[in-house]
Amino acid sequence: MTIVVTGGAGFIGSNFVLEWLAAGAGPVVNLDKLTYAGNLANLASVSGDPRHHFVRGDIADAALVGRLLAKHRPRAVVHFAAESHVDRSIHAPDAFIQTNVVGTFRLLEAVRGHWQSLDGAGREAFRFLHVSTDEVYGSLSETDPPFSETTAYAPNSPYSASKAASDHLVRAYHHTYGLPVLTTNCSNNYGPFQFPEKLVPLMIANALEAKPLPVYGDGRQVRDWLYVGDHCEAIRLVLEKGRPGEVYNVGGNAEKPNLDVVHALCDSLDALRPREGGHRGLIARVADRPGHDRRYAIDAGKMRSELGWSPRESFESGLARTVRWYLDNADWVAQVRSGEYRNWIEKNYGKRA
Ligand code: NAD
Ligand code: DAU
């Protein structure tokens, strides 16, 4: 009943592994390269759990992946590993092509070999679940309907283009070889263990240090905010009940302009950690992200009607849980905001102000 998870030391992957083990769902082999975004501290609570087997390695290392699959004979592979930050993809796209495109391709090849070696019920039951993003669909205007599973692809950043390429490869492995794949395209996640380069944790961490809260452009760009626990539940459902070859869009039903998100965070911190003058005073408008997508929104109707899923957390309840988690885990925040993190902040924000 073992599953292999890739990228399980990152934000969503570690939440998924912790929830999977807490639910008693079976052993996990966790393959992660431990890039700047991977953090074993996220998995500290399961470090002594014999059901969790961590392997440091690259999804593009075909020999390693082949050995892991042959040894553990998993019933499924859940693929989170990726370079995931849009701003980094603008500064340095190479790693995005290498991991998201080449890495996913090598992983698919190894998984295809493993799947073809299975027979009978094992082969029938096997699944490869690819975790992707709503960004592959491009940008919506204020009045466009939300993205559905049939929206045409129109990626706009090196990150989203690399994810789109990986989605196409996954689709092709189903169409050509019959590999039983499932793809999820989800909206912006937030919650515990998110690396503080992304909007929500960056704003919380900066606010707690009374540093500026850098809002790109006019701050009216809209994202659909999804609490990470709801996303993990959706992935578990798709894995167990989704139809091979199908795509499932997962969203939080919580469209918000960035400025509203930042205001909500400031207000929440004002209540829990008051500061003279309030936190909104720290907001600083900075130069916009090149090619910045205006609006993302997800129609999660297929998840609702086929699998009975809808998000449990509202934006307000999810954000309250998240702020509380960051306040309660100051050591985790301090640990990740050192070393390479400081170089990134200087590179991305140094010239924006
Ligand atoms: P993350 O950046 O927090 O974590 C990525 C993890 O992958 C890290 O642990 C990293 O060490 C690992 N990794 C990177 N390259 C690797 C490689 N070559 N081999 C093995 N491991 C490697 O990312 P996240 O936010 O947890 O996102 C997980 C997945 O979900 C990604 O595929 C991302 O595209 C997708 N996604 C994320 C969001 C979001 O809002 N965070 C939304 C939609 C989709
Ligand atoms: O939509 C799903 C995607 O959401 C995922 O595929 C990506 O992996 C994930 O990083 C996220 O991409 P975004 O670019 O939407 O997320 P980010 O947190 O970087 O930014 C959210 C919005 O906030 C976006 O409009 C840019 C803006 N922003 C971001 C940062 C880091 C700011 O205004 N200031 C900032 O400092």
Q: pLDDT tens-digit profile of 264-290?
A: 999 999 999 999 999 999 999 999 999
Can 260 be counted among the known catalytic residues? no
pLDDT at position 340 is 85
Q: Radius of gyration over alpha carbons of the chain, in Å?
A: 20
Can 135 be counted among the known catalytic residues? yes
pLDDT at position 352 is 84
The response to whether residue 4 sits with its C-beta less than 6 Å from ligand 1 reads no
Query: Over the stretch 295-319, which tens digit does the pLDDT of each residue have?
Result: 999 999 999 999 999 999 999 999 9
Tokens of 170: 């996954």
pLDDT at position 182 is 99
User: Is residue 353 predicted with pLDDT exceeding 80?
Assistant: no
Task: Select from 188, 231, 319 the residue to mutate for testing ligand 2; criterion: most ligand atoms less than 8 Å from CB.
Answer: 188
The response to whether residue 221 sits with its C-beta less than 6 Å from ligand 2 reads yes
The percent of residues above 90 in pLDDT, for the chain, comes to: 97
Give the ligand whose atoms come closest to the C-alpha of residue 213. Answer: 2
Mean of pLDDT values over 50-54: 98
Query: Over the stretch 171-193, which tens digit does the pLDDT of each residue have?
Result: 999 999 999 999 999 999 999 99
The response to whether residue 84 sits with its C-beta less than 6 Å from ligand 1 reads yes
Catalytic residue among 58, 83, 134, 233: 134
Query: Over the stretch 56-113, which tens digit does the pLDDT of each residue have?
Result: 999 999 999 999 999 999 999 999 999 999 999 999 999 999 999 999 999 999 999 9
Which residue spans within the chain are E strands per DSSP? 3-6, 28-32, 52-56, 76-79, 127-133, 181-186, 188-190, 213-216, 222-227, 247-250, 255-257, 283-286
Ligand 1 atom nearest 38 alpha carbon: 9
pLDDT at position 77 is 98
Residue nearest to atom 33 of ligand 1 (CA): 84
Per-residue exposure over 96-114, b if at least 16 CB sit within 10 Å of its own CB, e if not:
bbebbbebbbbbbebbbeb
Ligand 2 atom nearest 186 alpha carbon: 2
Contacts of 294 (CB under 8 A, 6+ apart): 139, 140, 141, 142, 221, 222
Mean pLDDT of the chain: 97
3-state secondary structure of 118: coil
Give the ligand whose atoms come closest to the C-alpha of residue 221. Answer: 2
pLDDT at position 83 is 98
pTM beyond cutoff 0.75: yes
Chain centroid, CA 143 distance in Å: 26
3-state secondary structure of 77: strand
Q: Which domains does the chain have, with CATH numbers?
A: 3-187+227-253+293-312 (3.40.50.720)
3-state secondary structure of 145: coil
3-state secondary structure of 8: coil
Ligand 1 atom nearest 135 alpha carbon: 43
The response to whether residue 214 sits with its C-beta less than 6 Å from ligand 2 reads yes
pLDDT at position 242 is 98
The response to whether residue 190 sits with its C-beta less than 6 Å from ligand 1 reads no
pLDDT at position 342 is 87
Catalytic residue among 83, 137, 159, 349: 159
Phi and psi at 341, nearest 5°, equal: -55, -45
User: Is residue 29 predicted with pLDDT exceeding 80?
Assistant: yes
Mean of pLDDT values over 148-170: 98
Q: How far, in Å, is the centroid of ligand 1 from the Cα of 156?
A: 19
Residue count of the chain, please give it. Answer: 353
| Tokens 């092709």 belong to residue | 172
The response to whether residue 82 sits with its C-beta less than 6 Å from ligand 1 reads yes
Q: Within 10 Å of residue 138's Cβ, how many Cβ atoms?
A: 19
Phi and psi at 216, nearest 5°, equal: -75, 135
User: Is residue 349 predicted with pLDDT exceeding 90?
Assistant: yes
Beta bridge partners of 284: 214
The response to whether residue 258 sits with its C-beta less than 6 Å from ligand 2 reads yes
pLDDT level of residue 338 (50, 70, 90 thresholds): confident
Tokens of 277: 């003058």
The response to whether residue 295 sits with its C-beta less than 6 Å from ligand 2 reads no
Q: In terms of DSSP H, where are the helices of 178-257?
A: 199-208, 228-241
Can 94 be counted among the known catalytic residues? no
pLDDT at position 351 is 84
| Tokens 């515990």 belong to residue | 192
User: Is residue 147 predicted with pLDDT exceeding 90?
Assistant: yes
Phi and psi at 290, nearest 5°, equal: -60, 135
